[in-house]
Structure 1
Amino acid sequence: MSELIVIGYDDHAVATKAFRAVQKLRADHVVELNGLAVVRVDEDGDTHVDTPARQEEIAVSATAGALWGMVFGILILTPGIGVLGAALGGLIGKLMQMGVDSGFRKKVSDLLVPGSAAVVIMASKITEDRFAAALEPFGGTVLKTSLSDESERELAEQLAGPTPGTSG
């Protein structure tokens, strides 16, 4: 099961410090990451995404990387479903079945107002008490949802498309 955690901050500098603290927690084996980013919304409303500088910072499988990219994109970068293609609509539907519903996405969107920032974390394993204690000094508004292993597998299969040689 993965935890999807979004921590909103009024200040990009504080979000960056919290982001670095999460990287240290990963190094200390307090959290196993499938994805990590800082999202900043500038005063003009433009969204900027910072991820770990080096790929080896977070060792993820291709499936986990695709899953993280899709979850992140739908949460942060997709304002509405309106003009999206059927495949992306199906993935959004799958995420909604997994508990990443429009209510959660709206809460994330409400956190990301001009001048704000958020740390977005997808963790496959987390030591909750140590994680919370380490991030407590930074404050912030915490939003959290879980993705079951079965839901992750289903989403990964949908991301991968049909297996060659099978009908479906």
Structure 2
Amino acid sequence: MATLTVWKFDTPEGAATTEETLLRLQKQELIRILDAAVASWPAGASKPKTKQLHNLTGAGALSGTFWGMLFGLIFLMPLFGAAVGAAAGALGGKMADVGIDDDFIESVKSEVTPGTSALFLLSQDAVVDRVREAFPGGHAQLLQSNLNGEQEAKLRSVFAD
């Protein structure tokens, strides 16, 4: 079963500093990373900068479309006008179908704010306490949504390359 985790860091650069740590944890078999992306939100910026971490992903990585839709729902939708309402509803419906519900979206939206950053991981077999301890600074706040097997299959069918 895949798990979508969001690790929040108290600085805009915190999430970006985790790539080497994650590679090391993966070699130690403390996590299996399927896909990853970061959002960095400098204080004073109107929205975060986002990027997919291609060096961490292996076979089965999702397309950038998934991350674009997820980041759009979390960070950008309030900026869009009413004309985009129907498209927003369709995006939200696709995410709900794969186990990413409104509560998860709202939780991330309320926690990842200017002056912070977040690491978004689609992973399996994570030893969560060891992952948390390994992050620079020794702490990160975890927001989590587990995907059951059916939801993971839907996610892959909708967003895989």
Q: Could you state the TM-score of these two structures normalised by the residue count of structure 2?
A: 0.75
Q: 1:33 to 1:47 in 2, by over 3 A?
A: same
Report the alpha carbon displacement of residue 65 of structure 1 after superposing the two structures with TM: 1.3
Report the alpha carbon displacement of residue 118 of structure 1 after superposing the two structures with TM: 0.8
Q: 1:140 to 1:133 in 2, by over 3 A?
A: closer
Q: Matched residues in 1 for 2:50 and 2:77: separation?
A: 19
Q: Matched residues in 2 for 1:57 and 1:159: separation?
A: 18
- Equivalenced residue count is 153
The residue aligned with 2:99 is 99
Q: Is the aligned partner of 1:65 residue 2:66?
A: no
Summarize deviations over 1:128-165 as a string: whole Å, max 9, x none.
343233238432221001111211212333447xxxxx
The residue aligned with 1:157 is 157
Summarize deviations over 1:12-69 as a string: whole Å, max 9, x none.
23323334322321232211111112211132223212443xx4542132xx413x74
Q: Matched residues in 2 for 1:156 and 1:44: separation?
A: 33
Q: Matched residues in 1 for 2:157 and 2:131: separation?
A: 31
- Of 13-22 and 142-151, deviating more is 13-22
The residue aligned with 2:50 is 49
The residue identity in structure 1 corresponding to 2:122 is M
Larger Rg: 1
Fraction of identical pairs, as percent = 22
The residue aligned with 1:38 is 38
Q: 1:91 to 1:150 in 2, by over 3 A?
A: farther
Checking the alignment, whether the CA contact within 8 Å between 1:75 and 1:108 is kept in structure 2 is: no
Checking the alignment, whether the CA contact within 8 Å between 1:40 and 1:117 is kept in structure 2 is: yes
Q: 1:69 to 1:27 in 2, by over 3 A?
A: farther
Unpaired runs of at least 5, structure 1: 161-168
Q: Secondary structure at the match of 1:49?
A: strand
Unpaired runs of at least 5, structure 2: none
Q: Matched residues in 1 for 2:136 and 2:40: separation?
A: 20
Checking the alignment, whether the CA contact within 8 Å between 2:39 and 2:118 is kept in structure 1 is: yes
Q: Matched residues in 1 for 2:118 and 2:7: separation?
A: 5
Report the alpha carbon displacement of residue 2 of structure 1 after superposing the two structures with TM: 0.8
Checking the alignment, whether the CA contact within 8 Å between 2:38 and 2:119 is kept in structure 1 is: yes
Q: Is the aligned partner of 1:4 residue 2:4?
A: yes
The residue aligned with 1:165 is none
The residue aligned with 2:72 is 77
Q: Matched residues in 2 for 1:123 and 1:56: separation?
A: 14
Checking the alignment, whether the CA contact within 8 Å between 1:33 and 1:123 is kept in structure 2 is: yes
The residue aligned with 1:119 is 119
What RMSD over aligned residues (CA atoms) do the two structures have, in Å?
Answer: 2.8
Q: Could you state the TM-score of these two structures normalised by the residue count of structure 1?
A: 0.73
